[in-house]
A and B are shown apart, each in its own frame.
Chain A
Amino acid sequence: MTILATEELTRSFPRVTALDRLTVTVGPGVTGLVGANGAGKSTLIKILLGLLEPSSGDAQVLGMDVRTRGAEIRRVVGYMPEHDCLPPDLSATEFTVHMARMSGLPRTAARERAADVLRHVGLYEERYRVMGGYSTGMKQRVKLAQALVHDPQVVFLDEPTNGLDPQGRDEMLALIRRIGAEFGISVLVTSHLLGELERICDHVVVIDGGRLLRSSAIAEFTQATETVTVEVEEGQDVLAARLAELGESVTADGRTLLVRVRAPETYDALRDAVADLDLCLIRLEQGRRRIEDVFKEPADV
């Protein structure tokens, strides 16, 4: 099943080409859309919502053409914009109910859905207060709630972790993961931070300057190599030298050493080396390759 698909999608503005012949397909689950600011992420979302006409090329959401069936798409899609969009003189409940009604839900259903969804995003008593006094974290939750209130099949979340503190960020990411896994709603989430997307996405699409850099499952990004991160209190250089002697490939990375795992014996060699040298071992961690590393490598994929 294809959630969305674009074919040679191009959108030019008078002075800049926001999307340049972008061809990409996204399946169910949580998909990350990564790119620097101005890479074309928000333009893509607006085109997918049918709010912006493509200059050329095609795009489909749930099999519906964005040019001709925009209204039908908007009925089954939720959108959380990047910018602030909350009137400060309404409470979260009033606002969410109103947005549910704007999606065509009858009054009582809108009330029930709003209460449900606000609970799911983690707003309780504070939802009866006017939103003017909300923290950024609470505002982001309301923005997410209004995108989910009509029970869409797909949600587009534009920079949902923007402006959040680390804890708020973690909670938001966990929530997005739940939307994809538990709620059964497909998610397209944009970010310019790869690190946070790799924790929650099944699939990552990377665009830059409106062009597709890469689109693949998260496993492909992170599986490639296995390394072990070793941190010792002192004698990092000695340990590196000993391991190199034993034929392991070691690279220093700040206060830690990255040791490539050739075979299970690498672990033994590492353990013995630390023990023999009588070093104080602080950390021994299975290193997962991060998506960032993909960008450090030459673009051969």
Chain B
Amino acid sequence: MSESLPAPPPPAPAGVIHDIGYRHYDGPRLGRGHAAAALAVHSLRGVFGLGRTARAKIIPFVLFGIMMLPAVVSIAMMAILQERGVRYTEYAIVMQAIPAIFLASQSPYTVAPDLRFRVLPLYLSRPVTLWDYVGAKLAAMTAALFLLTAVPLTVLFVGELVVDMPGAVRTSEYLAGMAGALALSVLLAALGVAIASFTPRRGLGVAAVIAFYLLSTGVSTAVGRVLEQAGDFAAASWAWLISPFFLVDAAVQVGVFGMDGSGPGGYPEGVGVAAAIMIMVGLIALSVVALIARYRKAASR
């Protein structure tokens, strides 16, 4: 066609749908980090039932509501009775059943469907690696638990500032409580996700995690009480550490921040603090190793 003879453009008919055919994508392709972050956010939303059915939202939000109650009551007590309620560092321990149920009911959701419905190969056929996948899932569960445990503390702290109680504001106790909440979230998430990852069945995962919680708490209390009755308080102080909630209390809130313990008895001191920290970090590391091993096996199938 000659360029010197431009054909008059035909009048474009209005309101016609054109099949523009396949279009290639030449926009940006972000790295693994973005994909892993997107996966973590997707999982975190899923843990709270966002983007899922209404039924999936019930348990997380009801638990979240219950978790908020002591904060609300404490603020009311401060405002009306001028009396302090629950302490920051004992909040998660007093309410420990709630984070435990939350962990048991929600951590299987983060991993089980991908195994059961075999979505995992789709992730692994993309730039995302096993480490990214496991990291994103752990980050999501940790963030969810941290929201559950830290939001009430923060609301309580804001309440305390607003009510303006006589005496100093318990800022250092609040910070210790927040650090404890973070450590607890990491530990519980690692344990919960690791346990849940061993079964593609969600119900079984829920049962396994709750069994783990009941067992560790039960053994910790039973052994501790027996040893106390026998008069061996030093040994009893170690027995409490079998419960993950008291372990974090001993390692972080008491050990690192020097707060009063919230356990049923005293915690080991001196070397015991270092040991508690080591046990906590060791448990987290062990969980991550178990997760990676589990997924190595799942991926090779």
Spell out A's residues near B (CB within 8 Å). 49, 51-52, 71, 74-75, 77-79, 81, 83-90, 94, 98-99, 101-107, 109, 113, 116, 120, 146, 150-151, 178, 182-184
Of the residues B38, B118, B121, contact of A101 by C-beta under 8 Å = B38
CB pair B117 A150 closer than 8 Å: no
Of the residues A52, A79, A101, A107, contact of B122 by C-beta under 8 Å = A79
A116: B residues at CB distance < 8 A: 22-23
CB pair B25 A85 closer than 8 Å: no
A83: B residues at CB distance < 8 A: 118, 121
Once the chains are docked, how many angstroms separate the CA of A102 from the CA of B32?
8
B97 close to A (CB within 8 Å): no
- Most chain B beta-carbon neighbours within 10 Å: one of A101, A102, A105, A116: A102
CB pair B122 A81 closer than 8 Å: yes
Once the chains are docked, how many angstroms separate the CA of A151 from the CA of B25?
6
CB pair A102 B126 closer than 8 Å: yes
CB pair A104 B34 closer than 8 Å: yes
When A84-B118, A87-B113, A87-B119 are in contact, do A98 and B30 touch as well, CB less than 8 Å? Answer: no
Shortest distance in angstroms between B297's beta carbon and chain A's nearest beta carbon? 13
Spell out B's residues near A (CB within 8 Å). 21-25, 27-32, 34-35, 38-39, 42, 51-53, 56, 113-114, 117-119, 121-129, 299-300
Shortest distance in angstroms between A154's beta carbon and chain B's nearest beta carbon? 12
B30: A residues at CB distance < 8 A: 104-106
When A101-B38, A105-B27 are in contact, do A182 and B118 touch as well, CB less than 8 Å? Answer: no
Q: Could you show 28 A-B contacts with beta carbons less than 8 Å apart?
A: A51-B121, A51-B299, A52-B300, A71-B129, A75-B127, A78-B125, A81-B122, A85-B119, A87-B113, A87-B114, A89-B56, A89-B113, A101-B34, A101-B35, A102-B126, A103-B29, A103-B127, A104-B30, A105-B30, A106-B34, A107-B38, A109-B25, A113-B25, A116-B22, A146-B122, A151-B24, A178-B22, A184-B22
CB pair A102 B27 closer than 8 Å: no
When A99-B122, A102-B128, A182-B22 are in contact, do A88 and B117 touch as well, CB less than 8 Å? Answer: yes
Which residue of B is nearest A182, CB measured? Answer: B22
Shortest distance in angstroms between A173's beta carbon and chain B's nearest beta carbon? 17
Shortest distance in angstroms between B32's beta carbon and chain A's nearest beta carbon? 7
Once the chains are docked, how many angstroms separate the CA of A8 from the CA of B25?
35
CB pair A71 B32 closer than 8 Å: yes
When A85-B117, A102-B35, A105-B27 are in contact, do A51 and B124 touch as well, CB less than 8 Å? Answer: yes
CB pair B118 A81 closer than 8 Å: yes
Of the residues B25, B32, B56, B121, contact of A105 by C-beta under 8 Å = B25
CB pair B117 A86 closer than 8 Å: yes
A109: B residues at CB distance < 8 A: 25, 27-28
CB pair B124 A85 closer than 8 Å: no
- Most chain B beta-carbon neighbours within 10 Å: one of A75, A101, A109, A184: A101
B299: A residues at CB distance < 8 A: 51
A49: B residues at CB distance < 8 A: 124-125
A99: B residues at CB distance < 8 A: 122, 126
Once the chains are docked, how many angstroms separate the CA of A90 from the CA of B119?
12
Of the residues A75, A77, A183, contact of B22 by C-beta under 8 Å = A183
Shortest distance in angstroms between A290's beta carbon and chain B's nearest beta carbon? 31
When A71-B127, A87-B119, A94-B51 are in contact, do A102 and B22 touch as well, CB less than 8 Å? Answer: no
CB pair B53 A89 closer than 8 Å: yes
Shortest distance in angstroms between A251's beta carbon and chain B's nearest beta carbon? 45
A51: B residues at CB distance < 8 A: 121, 124-125, 299-300
